[in-house]
Chains A and B, each alone.
Chain A
């Protein structure tokens, strides 16, 4: 090899070595440059992964029989796709005006400007027009047909165009190219107003601001809630091993029976209307496990149009009257007083009292509701006749105040029931140790005045009488479905204020009979069935802050069948105008509800039920 050739080889090898060295250095630098690392990662993510932006369905709400009470439906968001060239802004704006101007505050000029935004190949972004949210499927179907028709018209014209000029003229034909719609799920309540006081609502007008308000939607917000999820899915075969599950909201199964709820709401609406009352509520509960079967209120709202709730619920003190409104329950409370008296041994069923029509307690006189003396009577008669005087005597004179208030605590009347609904109210119990308490307060509380309670507190406390002395936690949630598995909500006992014997005595004392001479509850009598119940009429305070006899709260609590109660019903009609006594206003409402319940719950009349063998649970 010549010298020249040798030196050339050396030069070339040096050049290659230098190039190789340069590349190695560059590689090292690239691998340690933070900016380059980030860029590399971005590129990797861009090309090796795809991401799916998805908002999973909010948890559904079912009644106890699997009927859907809250679900989701597809709605659309209309926008302009800027990646489409040569948009026909006039047609787009005109069509949107034609379809939506009646419902939305649209402006042609503004729409025209949106639709005219210049095409930008780099960004090619999708611009939603915010005012056109929540468009239903039917409208989108119509728009889709129209868009296709315009496109077909253009295609036909283009095919038949023979000259360049004719082809150019095709672009003058109307087109909706660039008008796009994106689907998303929106909260939907198929039953409209039904059980809206229980369910509450979720705001949906602003897609980015979905908040559960009131009732279950608020209380179980964390279970029902779903958030927009970005799922990264690898394009690399070996990285895509496991399926990416996007968590759905948890579904709730309620203790509510849709059919019973609907009937109870209907009965309540009629009662409120018939009595020209301000409002009302009915609760139906299973005393054996605390399951709330129905909880109706009047007024109530339509959660599909939640923005009208202020108007729908005009005058309402709370969203759900059954748990949110406190009131003086009146004579239904006498059940509690008598229960405490019997349980403590202060009185027995045989104890007699001479009712002279008035009694003085703490320096103030208390009269009977009819301002009459009821004479000598035992405790059962005292309760059935609803004697204020007798119950004041039992509460203030026979039971010591310490035992009386201990009893109220045992019945849970100094605290919330903690039912699983948002917005439960509580009025502090006036008792020894609180400001201004006197013996008069105890006397008044003994017959249901001077104490403010919610209907749910009352029915929960009295459910002890219907359940052998045991109070079960009132609840709405029966079970929850999480990731395809159903978990049951186990009923829990929260109190045992009275014995089984006391509960049975009270139940027997309050058996509803046909004769008005015997009981105040005769209006709730159902032939062939033995139920127990108690009326309660409480005079309300008027706008001047004075008790006004013409303004009352009419209540009724009833349970049955008396020997084995399957349900307990609490009725409260507020400020009935034509009749003011609970025996005339609330008792017939209970009767109507109970007649329906015995039919749908398969409860036969006494003569059949009591003749059945015990192992069949009394059911036919």
Chain B
């Protein structure tokens, strides 16, 4: 009896096939979309990664160039370079007898050079790249699923 009921409502075979094919195609489409998103992100990340490598190398080259040029600048500003220029331009050293002192309230004659921020002023270290740019789709899913507050489940 049961068998005959089923038989009575059975779809036409082509309908079942279309339904089955549609389901498979839907799944495939979903997978394809996910893959495309994944591929797109991976492609972007790869591109950024390659840029980072190139920039890293450029940074090293620039650091070396800066170091060399700062030394060159220091050479131009060195005492043995400045003194002849000073004399050629007609400057003469003032002596203590010729100095006229003027009272300037609040003037601080000496100050210490700061080549870098002092240790006490150091900013708190934090990541410079947001996690959205580094996590995988799987990481993202994991993070979001774990943050879902399911009813009846103690957090």
State the A residues within 8 Å of B (CB).
50, 52, 54, 56-57, 60, 62, 64-68, 71-74, 137, 183, 185, 188, 190-192, 194, 231, 233-238, 240-241, 243-244, 246, 248, 251, 253, 258-259, 262, 478-479, 481, 484-488, 526, 595, 598-599, 601-602, 604, 608, 612, 616, 619-620
Contact = CB atoms under 8 A, between A and B. Distances in A.
Contacts of B77: 67, 190
Interface string B24-56: 000000000000000000100110111011001
A272 B57 CA distance: 51
B67 A72 contact: yes
Contact of A66 (B50, B67, B94, B113): B113
B78 A608 contact: no
A346 to B, nearest CB: 40
B96 A599 contact: yes
Closest 8 CB pairs of A and B: A237-B45, A68-B74, A190-B74, A71-B71, A74-B68, A620-B101, A190-B75, A486-B116
Given A57-B63, A238-B136, A240-B52, A72 B79 contact: no
B107 interface: yes
A190 B78 contact: yes
B54 to A, nearest CB: 10
B81 to A, nearest CB: 9
B67 A236 contact: no
Contacts of B118: 485-488
B56 A233 contact: yes
Given A62-B115, A235-B53, A244-B56, 15 more contacts: A52-B57, A54-B60, A68-B70, A68-B74, A71-B67, A73-B68, A190-B77, A190-B78, A235-B49, A241-B134, A484-B117, A487-B119, A599-B95, A599-B96, A619-B109
Contacts of B94: 599
Given A235-B49, A620-B101, A485 B119 contact: yes
B88 interface: no
B143 interface: no
A251 B70 contact: no
- Which one of B65, B74, B128, B129 has the highest number of Cβ atoms from chain A below 10 Å of its Cβ? B74
Contacts of A234: 49
Given A62-B113, A486-B119, A72 B74 contact: no
A598 B50 CA distance: 59
A14 to B, nearest CB: 31
B103 interface: yes
Contacts of A194: 78-80
Interface in B79-100: 79-80, 94-96, 99
Nearest to A248: B63
A185 B68 CA distance: 8
Contacts of B119: 485-488
A236 B71 CA distance: 38
A71 B70 contact: yes
A604 B107 CA distance: 14
Interface size class of B (residues with CB under 8 A): 35 or more
Nearest to A183: B64
Contacts of A64: 112-113
A484 B114 CA distance: 11
A192 B81 CA distance: 11
Given A191-B79, A258-B79, A599-B94, A237 B104 contact: no
Contact of A192 (B50, B70, B78, B103): B78
Contact of B79 (A66, A240, A253, A259): A259
Interface in B108-136: 109, 112-119, 122, 128-129, 134, 136
B44 to A, nearest CB: 8
Nearest to B104: A620
B67 A485 contact: no
B102 to A, nearest CB: 7
Contact of B102 (A74, A137, A251, A620): A620
Given A484-B117, A485-B118, A238 B134 contact: yes
Contacts of A233: 52-53, 56
- Which one of B42, B75, B134 has the highest number of Cβ atoms from chain A below 10 Å of its Cβ? B75
B71 A620 contact: no
Contacts of A604: 99, 101
A237 B74 contact: no
A620 B107 contact: yes
- Which one of B56, B94, B117 has the highest number of Cβ atoms from chain A below 10 Å of its Cβ? B56
A526 B96 CA distance: 10
A68 B67 CA distance: 11
- Which one of B80, B115, B134 has the highest number of Cβ atoms from chain A below 10 Å of its Cβ? B115
Contacts of B113: 62, 64-66, 253
A246 B63 CA distance: 11
Given A57-B67, A237-B46, A240-B52, A486 B115 contact: yes
A125 to B, nearest CB: 21
A64 B79 CA distance: 15
A66 B115 contact: yes
A62 B112 CA distance: 12
Contact of B95 (A237, A479, A487, A595): A595
Contacts of B70: 68, 71
Contacts of B73: 68
30 contacts: A52-B57, A56-B63, A60-B67, A62-B115, A68-B73, A71-B71, A183-B64, A185-B67, A190-B74, A190-B77, A194-B79, A194-B80, A236-B49, A237-B48, A259-B79, A262-B79, A478-B112, A484-B117, A485-B119, A486-B114, A486-B115, A486-B117, A488-B119, A595-B95, A598-B96, A599-B96, A601-B109, A602-B101, A616-B105, A620-B107
Contacts of A54: 60
A237 B42 contact: yes
Contact of B101 (A243, A601, A608): A608
A508 B105 CA distance: 31
Nearest to A188: B71
A190 B96 CA distance: 30
A243 B42 CA distance: 19
B134 to A, nearest CB: 5
Contact of A74 (B42, B65, B95, B101): B65
A482 to B, nearest CB: 9
